[in-house]
Homo-oligomer: A and B are copies of this chain.
């Protein structure tokens, strides 16, 4: 989707930002940066790096003398650190808050670091500051069945009776859409499916706090027809039973 952007965060293309970041890291690690190493780190050919360096030189972001080691200008260092900081922040978010494995968190951060606005960064930092003073929050998330990571104690969505804090254990008020009648509406609270089925349901638009209207509901093996976000979807009963809802008050 395209919304008209009000702020111009960066004047540089994403690839050029990546080169800057790569150079910064290479200099930090080895004390110098060479075309070959940049090419390897970014998984492009050396020829491509040469061209990029000329552009970065024209933008006064690197000190580029042909066939010599490459250094960042002050301006280039600042730009690199700006991106790198976003990378670290996003990585921490996906790893520490959402509980993703380090590598996946880093990859996700790579893809987003170029487009994180100042405002979103500010709010994200504030969220971390908040969490720093209320560490119980993340602990609670990590210990809840929904928040458990693969390898954790209550992973795989296995419900734990001790988890009173989050009260995610099935209770009277928790029903699946499989038991709803045609014409009824409800709000999704949780998708208990895992793996590919979970992803399929999410991709269809079935998210927490989304309204679901049941249109047709055959008994037994017949599919359940629902409306969600304006779209008509057909679900098997086995799938539908993985979507927990609450009836609006």
Which of the candidate stretches A46-54, A57-65, A165-173 sits at the interface with the other chain?
A165-173
Please encode chain A, from 18 to 39, with 1 for each CB lying within 8 Å of some chain B CB and 0 for all others.
1001100100100000000000
Assembly CA distance A103 to B77 (angstroms): 31
Asked whether B2 lies within 8 Å of A132 as measured between CB atoms, the reply is no
CB < 8 Å neighbour of A126 from B78, B125, B147, B203: B147
Assembly CA distance A83 to B5 (angstroms): 19
Q: Is A153 an interface residue (CB 8 A)?
A: no
Residues of B within 8 A of A147 (CB): 126-127, 130
Asked whether B28 lies within 8 Å of A1 as measured between CB atoms, the reply is no
A interface with B by C-beta (< 8 Å): 1-6, 18, 21-22, 25, 28, 41-43, 77-78, 81-85, 87-89, 92, 94, 97-100, 103-104, 106-113, 115-130, 132-134, 137, 140-141, 144, 146-147, 165-168, 189-191, 198-199, 202-205, 207-209, 229-231
Residues of B within 8 A of A2 (CB): 18, 22, 41-43, 110
Q: For chain A, what secondary structure do more than half of its interface residues adopt (helix, strand, loop), or is it mixed?
A: helix
Asked whether B117 lies within 8 Å of A107 as measured between CB atoms, the reply is yes
Q: In the complex, what residue of chain B is closest to A3 when comparing beta carbons?
A: B107
Asked whether A3 and B106 contact (CB < 8 A) given A129-B189, A189-B132, A207-B128, the answer is: yes
Asked whether B208 lies within 8 Å of A128 as measured between CB atoms, the reply is yes
In the assembled complex, the CB of A100 is this many whole angstroms from the nearest CB of chain B, namely 6
